[in-house]
Amino acid sequence: MVDTQWTHTTVLLQESIDAAVTDPNGTYIDATYGRGGHSRLLLSKLSPSGRLIAFDRDHEAVANAQTLVASDPRFSIRHAAFSAMADIAPASITGILMDLGISSPQVDDAARGFSFMRDGPLDMRMDASRGQSVAEWLSTATTARMAEVIHDYGEERHARLIATAITSSREKKIPLERTTDLAKIVASTIHGREAGQHPATRTFQAFRIFINDELGELDRALAAAPDLLCAQGRLAVISFHSLEDRRVKQFIAAHSKEMFDPRSPQSLMRSTESKLKLKDLGRIKPSAAEVKANPRSRSAVLRVAERTAFNRERAS
């Protein structure tokens, strides 16, 4: 069933499409279809011979896209994580757009379990048909592993305290199956909060990123992107928190500069063959007007890179 209850405001919509679309006759990838905001505008820029391939691992997003599939032969969607784009033929794509994170319908639907503000099952899976829910994972995870996840993916300085509180609640047979169960544990553990932020914000972010392997998916998709792009093809990535943006920034730097930070994990992916595959075209932030109209856009960063000519790569 296609959902109509939940709405989503696409962030950096015009800016990202302007950055990604350079040839109306080209073939493009929308790596995270969501509710189709980017896809619909991108299709409006294409000629009858242009093509758009979308990906999403959320069943509801794929169901939502079927109307567009039926009405526009230039469009197709795959129910898969966006790292599956690695299967596409090399040098066949004119532009790749990645809009990372979660969509508003996922957050706003309490049944999906993403929000600490709404009572629902503690799930958080983007594809609810596979893998463990957060509740299932927390039922067996060690204190040390929970603390590691909360610290590494949530950048939460109280990670050990929160993990210990979760373990203690589990030992006391206190239920931990609802979003509000987890939110209460975190709130009772952290005394004091960042201005304007719920104390459970970072913990929920950490468990969501971990349970969906979001950073692993991003790394695999980024690794595939340069070889998928044709010469002068564009990569445009919208990030919403520092963990994602840092990876994208380091990846582009590693493939666009002779000199790069050897401490970067992306440097391990650098080789003679990958040298100077990309040209860094900079970053774009939402305008003040967009942030005012859509506060969820305030942390967004759009980074853009262009595939260098193949003859330059062979000469290096």
Q: Which residue blocks in the chain are alpha helix, DSSP H? A: 13-20, 37-44, 59-64, 66-71, 104-108, 134-138, 143-154, 159-171, 179-189, 201-211, 214-228, 242-254, 288-293, 310-315
Residue 119 lies in a domain: no
For position 157, which CATH number holds? 1.10.150.170
Asked whether residue 185 falls in the same domain as residue 173, the answer is yes
Lowest mean pLDDT among 64-68, 99-103, 222-226: 99-103
Asked whether residue 152 falls in the same domain as residue 299, the answer is no
b/e per residue, 279-303, with b = 16+ CB within 10 A?
Answer: bebeebebeeebbeeeeebebbbbb
pLDDT at 169 over 80: yes
pTM, entire model: 0.87
Of 252, 190, 186, 258, give the one whose Cα is nearest residue 218.
252
Domain end call among 211, 246, 261: 211
**Mean per-residue pLDDT for 178-203?**
88
pLDDT at 273 over 90: no
Asked whether residue 219 falls in the same domain as residue 101, the answer is yes
Residue 111 lies in a domain: no
Torsion, Cα of 295, 7, 41, 282 (10° steps): 30
For position 98, which CATH number holds? 3.40.50.150
Question: By residue range, what is the domain housing residue 179?
Answer: 127-211
pLDDT at 262 over 90: no
Mean residue pLDDT across the chain: 89
Residue 313, pLDDT score: 44
* Measured CA angle at 240 (ends 237, 241), to 5 deg: 115
Asked whether residue 264 falls in the same domain as residue 307, the answer is yes
For residue range 110-146, list pLDDT tens digits in order.
888 888 888 999 999 999 889 999 999 999 999 999 9
Asked whether residue 218 falls in the same domain as residue 101, the answer is yes
For residue range 16-41, list pLDDT tens digits in order.
999 999 999 999 999 999 989 999 99
pLDDT at 3 over 50: no
Asked whether residue 219 falls in the same domain as residue 76, the answer is yes
For residue range 56-71, list pLDDT tens digits in order.
999 999 999 999 999 9
Residue 185 lies in a domain: yes
pLDDT at 315 over 70: no
Q: How many domains does the chain have?
A: 2
Asked whether residue 46 falls in the same domain as residue 34, the answer is yes
